[in-house]
Amino acid sequence: MDTVIVPTYNEAESIGELVARLKAVCDCLILVVDDSNDKNATATTAYKAGAQVVQRANKRGLSSAVICGLRLLNSNTDKVVVMDADLQHPPEDVPILFYFLESFDFVVASRYVEGGGCKEWDLNRKVISRVANLLAWPLAPRVHDLVSGFFGFRREGLPDLSLVNDRGFKIMLELLVRGNWKSVVEVPYIFQPRLKGETKMRKEQVRDYVLQLVKLYLRRS
């Protein structure tokens, strides 16, 4: 069964709509890994909408949540998509990612290929994203959007999860660099403006990203 992993932190305002829109376009298992401290509001909303929900005590970060979801995959799951819960990753694009996973091992939903882009980003966000992407470029020079949070893969190419850095929020880069992928493809998507909730970007995440890059570069040396 195809599976969509959705890490959440206080996403009660958007998770119900996300699950409903996913179920409308995709026959898949929706696995929500929830670190929220909102008195079960996110978890309850996701469960009532039809998702499978795993709640964890204490906020441990997006990467950690995705790894937790990967450890809980059903044995018959082959194709996996990871996406955020804030509706900035369009649920209607998920079937496209699964379609490309029929022919490729890893698929990146990309803002930086022809047809992709970002709606209503200010200059500061654009610069941060481009710089973060440029810093990671030597690790996988054929991929244009190395800091995408919207991606999919075939399970058989996953690395040993005990070796994967579970800090920070750029888990795609970690899996892409450490995994055994025979073929990688980028497909364009439009990153949507945030309509509900607030951004999770913090100075601590920038620090974690820099440390993640250092570890990945040291691995290559």
CATH number for the domain including 122?
3.90.550.10
Give how many domains the chain has, as a whole number.
Answer: 1
> What whole-number distance in Å separates Cα of residue 49 and Cα of residue 13?
12
> What whole-number distance in Å separates Cα of residue 108 and Cα of residue 68?
21
Q: How many helices (DSSP H) and strands (DSSP E) are in the chain?
A: 7, 9
Q: For residue range 51-104, what is the model confidence (pLDDT) as tens digits?
A: 999 999 877 789 999 999 999 999 999 999 999 999 999 999 999 999 999 999
Residues spanned by the domain of 197: 3-220
79: CB partners within 8 A, 6+ apart: 2, 3, 98, 101, 152, 153, 154, 155
pLDDT value of position 221: 60
User: Is the overall model pTM greater than 0.85, yes or no?
Assistant: yes
> What whole-number distance in Å separates Cα of residue 129 and Cα of residue 136?
11
